[in-house]
Amino acid sequence: MRTLAEDMGALASDALNYFDAEFAFQKTRARLAGNRLVTAIALGIVAIVLVLLAAVGLTIGLLIALIPIVTAWGATAIVVLVLLLLAWLCVRGARRALGSIKSAFAQGDGALEDSPHV
């Protein structure tokens, strides 16, 4: 028959073994997540570069298509103005998004304090 001390010793040994196994598993899991994150970032950068190349191709294509219609200077002006308009719309959207973030964290707003999930 086993004593309480032997059972406690076995429990401590089992707990230590479980801790070692769990720690090794979590280390492997973190290493895998890190490797996948690097892969995802690299593929994201490649995708951004390809989108930029496509945008340059589209811009050049628009210029070539518009030159016979409105001359080279007119085509350049149209394409540049459209691109600037799109950039301006993006800046307005970004400013609006930043404004909503600022208002969410404004002092004395009370929105965060009144929320039951905080």
Q: pLDDT tens, 35-77? A: 899 999 999 999 999 999 999 999 999 999 999 999 999 999 9
State yes or no: pLDDT of 117 exceeds 80: no
* Conformation bin of residue 71: beta by default, left when phi > 0, alpha when psi is -120 to 50: left
pTM listed for this prediction? 0.59
111 is written with which tokens? 């929105």
Q: 104: which residues sit within 8 A by CB, 6+ positions away?
A: 111, 112
State yes or no: pLDDT of 105 exceeds 90: no
What torsion do the CA atoms of 87, 88, 94, 96 make, to the nearest 10 degrees?
A: -160
10 Å CB burial of residue 78 (0-12, 13-18, 19+) is: middle
Residue with more model confidence, 106 or 57: 57
* Predicted pLDDT of residue 110: 54
State yes or no: pLDDT of 118 exceeds 50: no
Q: Which helix (H) or strand (E) holds 66?
A: helix 4-104
State yes or no: pLDDT of 79 exceeds 90: yes
Average per-residue pLDDT for the chain: 88
- Counting Cα atoms < 13 Å in the Cβ hemisphere of 43 gives 6
Q: Which helix (H) or strand (E) holds 59?
A: helix 4-104
